[in-house]
Structure 1
Amino acid sequence: MRALAGSHRPWWTAYGFLLGLTSWLHEFAVLALAAHGLTLWWSRAERRSVRRWAIAGTAVVVGLLPLAVISAGQAEAQLGWLGRPSAGAWLLAAGLSAGAFVLCRLLVRTGRPGAPALTRVALPLLIAPVGLLMTASLVKPWYVDRYVLYGMTGLALPAGAALAWAAEESRRLATRARLLAHCLAAALAVAVLLPWSLQVRSPESRKDDVAAVARAVERRTHPGDGVLFMPSRRREWLLSYPEVRARLDDLALARPPGPSRTLQGTERDASAIRRALLSSDRVVALMDPAGQPLDPYAREEVKRRVLATRFQECERVRLHGAQVVVYVRRGAGPCR
């Protein structure tokens, strides 16, 4: 806003540098450019300000291109597990946007100084990055709410201004009435925030329950059983439970994390995975829940194909964000 108010070059230079640095730290931060462009349009900014914003934005995009090119080549491996935004995600985004709009209208109607300018900054920042990424994810699923979490600043700004206005208004009340108002406000804040605070600390707040997966595997495996991670990134479920992992034969693993200098280790090629599977009588597969996209890689395809054609399913345990499935090779005896 200082760059917009004064249109001084040093402010626009600092703006471009900070946004460029932020975008290198997290590429989707570049979507804030769209929000700022909407703010300029809404504010009917001078041509000089628009021109300097465009120059700074172009420099940010050009500077980000090398990283974007590399990331595009890795996108399928890094983001291939994502599905398209759910109806719940769209409703949540719409609800937050509506709430921010109501707060902004309240501030404008009360005549708060700076409320129109705050509105022109907050609403585009809340709506544009999320909206763009969710819309793009209808074609190429790249949306995760935390990727554009910075957009929540667009809700925090009017919420903070509304709280400041309420605090100022309460000073006009008598002492007892002011004390009652403060108590009611505190009770309301606890009633709203406490359930969220408790929920975010529960296993249900995560996309999976790693502890439950480890317990299910421990109860259903015998020493020497084969274990298969489908897809391979689900190896992370047992990385925190080495005592459980040590009793199992990781059929697809070529090199563990340490020697391979990777987070989860490296896997064998598809033919080696097939041979390892066929040499095992009992396999426990750790899988994504039903309905998740299937990785199209040869290693993952051979896991699915061999289990479907050469093994029989004995037990399937559905957990939060995961499935543990026990297989026995056909002809190797009954399920046990």
Structure 2
Amino acid sequence: MPRTLPGPVAPVALTLLLGLWGITRENSMWRDEAATWQVAHRTVPEIWHLLHQVDVVHGLYYLFMHGVFTIFGDSLAALRLPSVLAMACAAALVASLGTRLAGRCAGQAAGLAFALLPAVQRYAQEGRSYALVTVCVAAACWLLVAAVDRPGTGRWAAYGAAVLVAALLNWFSLLALCAHAVTIALARPPRATVLRWAGAASAAVTGALPLILVSGQQSQQVAWIPPISRSTLIGLSLTLLVGALCAWAARRGLHPPTSTRLPLTALALPLLALPPLLLLGASLARPIYLDRYVLFTHLGLALLIGAACQTLALRLRTHMPPYRTTAVLVTLAFLGLLPSQLSLRGATGRIDDVVSTAENVAAVRRAGDAVLFIPAARRDTALVSPAAFTGTKDVALLHRPVESGTLNGRERTPDQITHALLTAGRVVVISDAGAASAATSRDRAKRRALDAHFIRCDQTSERGRTVTVYERRDNNLPMRTHEDEGANITSRGVRSVRVPPFPYG
């Protein structure tokens, strides 16, 4: 653990404060968090059944969140608090690393900079695994420096364990090993140290290999990732440019303590640059790049910003003490980033909101209504807030998510869906806002049946999703049967996120 305890206190406090500020995000939940919410409510055997079909890459995180919900109950705060705490621990480790590699001022500034980074603030308030991956990589970086400076079997074993846990949470974190290989090469430690690092890294990769192989068989889970866009390239280029400028600005102010073999830039620059560039290169063959997959690279960016702040503070020390300079810089950064911070904590700060969609359904649905989800993945609205769908029939659903071991259930054939729709007099459709969302044969059959036999009579678009009410063109409805009506909207063990302002019946 870090020798100097007071150093990380301010970064930890700031990270916790920012993470807890608006943690419910105006009682909203976006689609990825909805997956965590509904899977964490399943039993362990049901989660295991799911992982044999889809999402094995998130299996450890789902099991962890299942434990969190079991112990602390389910709420938006419980969903996101583990990520807040993980980022706070990562901030402490960044501050400790900066102190060890460049001095207390650099460490303090690095930890505070980490807390203020928009990407860190975003994923500190998301019920997904990326914050936990980040703190594991931060721990691995700290242990790497400690093991290079003072080699020991225990340190290398802990390093390998930290890398392995990060990989089991998301195996793209193994890209950090490529950065660490460059760090080792730049440090030029004794040959024994290099061999011990290689052994620890190999053990971690070997431990994660079964997960990598199984997730490769579920590659359809990432088939939706789009090709690399110009905005992605610009964003990454700007991030790398900021890191390079900070490294250049800090080059004269970095005087690492004699107790460490590693200069700060030898750890931070490879960590910032290599993982995203490697993932970007892999995406040329098959789109796989998402910035959240390499969120941990912001650890390197924060260290470089901290080093640059220390250099600036040292140059201004004739006017004010270094720590006062750091405080001024942090205050200015906070104020400059305030619009982004407010946006991230609002309900519109994510792609969509399943909770507000459920409220819109509850406002228009009637007993006996059919419901359709286009695409089927929008069924997460009902899985998170089943009470909003009381009395409705999911006419496309054949097997529910839990029994089918899927996230969204298995739907009927296109012909069966069309036949079931023809027995309905009124249909409530949940779809993406601004898009037809009819990419599959089932979704196209839903659209054809709606266009041919129903009239749109009401529509609400809010926070990324649309709720549309259709009514039959004629009143001569065929007799309904229980088989035709489809499945009742139920979700054992999952309740609504919040009590709505109107009765569900």
Q: Quick one: which of 241, 254, 275 aligns to 1:98?
A: 241
Find the aligned partners of 1:310 and 1:136 in 2 and give their Cα distance.
47
Residue 233 (1) aligns with residue 358 (2)? no
Structure 1 segment 25-174 matched on structure 2, within 5 A: 25-43=169-187, 48-76=192-220, 78-113=221-256, 117-166=263-312, 171-173=317-319
Find the aligned partners of 1:69 and 1:290 in 2 and give their Cα distance.
37
Q: Is the 8 A contact 2:246 2:304 kept in 1?
A: yes
- 1:124 deviates by 1.5
Q: Is the 8 A contact 1:254 1:265 kept in 2?
A: no
Instruction: Tell me: CA distance 1:290–1:110, structure 2 relative to 1, closer, same or farther (3 Å).
Output: same
Q: 1:141 aligns to what SS in structure 2?
A: coil
Q: Is the 8 A contact 1:137 1:143 kept in 2?
A: yes
Find the aligned partners of 1:294 and 1:148 in 2 and give their Cα distance.
31
Structure 1 segment 120-269 matched on structure 2, within 5 A: 120-166=266-312, 171-173=317-319, 184-185=328-329, 187-254=331-398, 260=403, 266-269=409-412
Q: Is the 8 A contact 1:20 1:64 kept in 2?
A: yes
Q: 2:466 aligns to what SS in structure 1?
A: strand
CA RMSD after TM alignment:
3.7
Q: 1:84 aligns to what SS in structure 2?
A: coil
- 1:96 deviates by 1.6
- Aligned residue pairs total 328
Structure 1 segment 250-329 matched on structure 2, within 5 A: 250-254=394-398, 260=403, 266-270=409-413, 271-289=415-433, 296=440, 299-300=442-443, 302-304=445-447, 306-307=449-450, 317-328=460-471
Counterpart amino acid of 1:202?
G
Q: Is the 8 A contact 1:256 1:264 kept in 2?
A: no
Q: For residues 272-329 of structure 1, what are the alpha-carbon distances to aligned partners after superposition, in whole Å with 9 as ceiling and x for unaligned?
A: 4333223224333222355798765x65564455446665666665544333344455
Instruction: Tell me: CA distance 1:272–1:97, structure 2 relative to 1, closer, same or farther (3 Å).
Output: same
- 1:240 deviates by 4.2
- 1:221 deviates by 4.3
- 1:138 deviates by 4.3
Instruction: Tell me: CA distance 1:59–1:221, structure 2 relative to 1, closer, same or farther (3 Å).
Output: same
Q: For residues 73-100 of structure 1, what are the alpha-carbon distances to aligned partners after superposition, in whole Å with 9 as ceiling and x for unaligned?
A: 2231x33443334432332222222112
Query: Relative contact order (C-alpha < 8 Å, sep 6+): which is higher?
Result: 2
Q: Is the 8 A contact 1:171 1:178 kept in 2?
A: no
Instruction: Tell me: CA distance 1:173–1:67, structure 2 relative to 1, closer, same or farther (3 Å).
Output: same
Instruction: Tell me: CA distance 1:314–1:22, structure 2 relative to 1, closer, same or farther (3 Å).
Output: same
Q: TM-score, normalised by structure 1?
A: 0.78
Structure 1 segment 3-14 matched on structure 2, within 5 A: 3-5=147-149, 10-14=154-158
Unaligned runs of 5+ residues in structure 2 are 1-144, 477-505
- 1:174 deviates by 5.8
The farther-off stretch of 205-214 and 316-325 is 316-325
- 1:202 deviates by 0.9
Counterpart amino acid of 2:289?
Y
Q: 2:371 aligns to what SS in structure 1?
A: strand
Match of 2:79 in 1: none
Find the aligned partners of 2:345 and 2:437 in 1 and give their Cα distance.
27
Q: Is the 8 A contact 2:375 2:437 kept in 1?
A: no
Q: Is the 8 A contact 2:380 2:408 kept in 1?
A: no
Find the aligned partners of 1:150 and 1:56 in 2 and give their Cα distance.
20
- 1:201 deviates by 0.5
The farther-off stretch of 106-115 and 203-212 is 106-115
Q: Is the 8 A contact 1:81 1:292 kept in 2?
A: no
Q: Is the 8 A contact 1:7 1:48 kept in 2?
A: no
The farther-off stretch of 286-295 and 271-280 is 286-295
Instruction: Tell me: CA distance 1:174–1:235, structure 2 relative to 1, closer, same or farther (3 Å).
Output: closer
Find the aligned partners of 1:111 and 1:262 in 2 and give their Cα distance.
54
The farther-off stretch of 105-114 and 116-125 is 105-114
Instruction: Tell me: CA distance 1:215–1:293, structure 2 relative to 1, closer, same or farther (3 Å).
Output: closer
Q: For residues 213-245 of structure 1, what are the alpha-carbon distances to aligned partners after superposition, in whole Å with 9 as ceiling and x for unaligned?
A: 234434554443321112222122244444431
Q: TM-score, normalised by structure 2?
A: 0.55
- 1:190 deviates by 2.9
Q: Is the 8 A contact 1:170 1:178 kept in 2?
A: no
Unaligned runs of 5+ residues in structure 1 are none
